Amino acid sequence: MILTKSKYLAGLQCSLLLWTLVNDKSSIPEPDEAQQKIFDVGSKIGLLATKLFPDGIKVTEAGFIENINQTKELLKQNKPLFEAGFLTNNLFSRADILVPNNGSYDIIEVKSSTQVKEINLHDVSFQKHVYELAGLKINKCYLMFINNTYIKQGDINPNLLFKKEDITEQVIQFSEGIQERIAEMLKIINEKKPNIKINPNCSKPYVCSLKDICWKNIPKNSVFQLARGGKKSWELFNKDIIRIEDIPKDFKLTTNQEIQRNCEISKKPLINKDAIKQFLNTIQYPIYYFDFETINPCIPLYDGLRPYQRMPFQYSLHIQETPEGKCKHISFLAKETEDPRQAILESMKNNLGDKGTILAWNQSFEIGVIRELCEQIEGYSDWAIKVLERFNDLIIPFKNFSYYNPIQQGSASLKKVLPALTNLSYQDLIIGNGGDASNAYELIATSKLSKEEVKKIRNNLEKYCELDTLAEVEILKALKKIVK
């Protein structure tokens, strides 16, 4: 059996994941849309990085053996190689960029992150180990990652988009004991399927692709749904306490965690009418129920944007003039062929009025996006100062546990609160969450799709965003009924 770099990294996280990748790969679920997006971004970033080495040569990835054989031949040309592969002692690794350096080589690993992470050091330490076993002398190890202070002006400039950090010393430290770790992993691969108990590594450094399988018997409202549970959740689990309702009374919990336990036992919601009334008294009519959708692409789409900077492309707005009045719905969805920032600001200025509460869910997001927009687009600062003073946050009664229903599973997110108070649901929507909405818009903004495909996606985006603010309308209505 061959231990590749990706399997080595998997083995560091979980021996069951390693064993499954080698012996039962078909049982591993295909990556979901969000995970595939991460892979695609990584590929784009890797390709951009190669432009920094104009004399570099791409080694074929068409086949395992072909890649290894071509690498041997291309090394003779003494030029940077992209995806150079080496196989030795049942170990295989490919280098993003291998740069000749006076008889030795520098390793450059390219990542779409904005900083050096521990997993990157393990990644490069395995590469260095394999290449040295193959007879290469490694001089320096570098991580090339995204410079999140870079501001796009014109075409993307790879020289400014990337940072390159010398990680040689850290890689040497992380290489200590690597041979023993490799030996243990090769042993695991060739033995029976390991029996692993779930643990914090299921989500560290990444959510394991086997998590849904390994966690399938964990019930709803388990100790892992405790609000801010953290280490406390694992402490309970390791004592074989799985359900919140089974947490002993003498186990120290926060006030909100105690509310969760009591609600699980009673199977009834907690309602603090006085606190809810106090919150409702902070809302003034007309009410503008508001929600943004944004993208934050690694590679900025428009001038003036940084990598991973939020850029709104859509908002939904329900306007209610009086307590018993019907809501008017207004929607903005940017043209996918244009920079939307000026247009969305102008639309908000025209539609958010000059008085009344602007009600959002987790308002810090909307406020932050508007502030960033006004820093980029001139002429809206005075308007922003006034409009931001009118924001209020519908999450407050739920974040403060003034209302809590076991249906929420410890969460104050809109998606969890909605079924606790209304009959509305996102289940039947093609686009059912903010991540999917971002991916959908970025797809139509960066890809060549047919008019029919674009129209379908835009229609699905409209339906999703409208439900976000309709959900706010119905939740506020439900809160009012509760305190009557």
pLDDT tens digit sequence for 89-144:
999 999 999 999 999 999 999 999 999 999 999 999 999 999 999 999 999 999 99
Distance CA 38, CA 250 (A): 44
Distance CA 222, CA 212 (A): 15
Q: Tell me the C-alpha to C-alpha distance, in Å, between residue 102 and each of 67, 78, 122.
A: 24, 9, 26
DSSP class of 203: G
pLDDT of residue 410: 95
Beta partners for 69?
none
SS3 389: coil
Strands 104-110 and 138-146: parallel
pLDDT of residue 32: 84
Distance CA 371, CA 366 (A): 9
pLDDT of residue 217: 94
* Burial class of residue 225, CB neighbours in 10 A (0-12, 13-18, 19+): buried
Distance CA 197, CA 234 (A): 12
Extract the tokens encoding 55.
């004399």
Distance CA 453, CA 336 (A): 13
Residues of the chain with pLDDT under 50: none
Q: Which residue, chain included where needed, has tokens 């080698």?
A: 22
Q: What is the pTM of this model?
A: 0.92
pLDDT tens digit sequence for 348-395:
999 999 999 999 999 999 999 999 999 999 999 999 999 999 999 999
Distance CA 163, CA 66 (A): 32
pLDDT of residue 31: 87
Q: Which residue, chain included where needed, has tokens 């940077």?
A: 80
pLDDT of residue 310: 95
Q: What is the 3-state secondary structure (H, E, C) of 64-97?
A: HHHHHHHHHHHHHHCCCEEEEEEEECCEEEEEEE
pLDDT of residue 1: 80
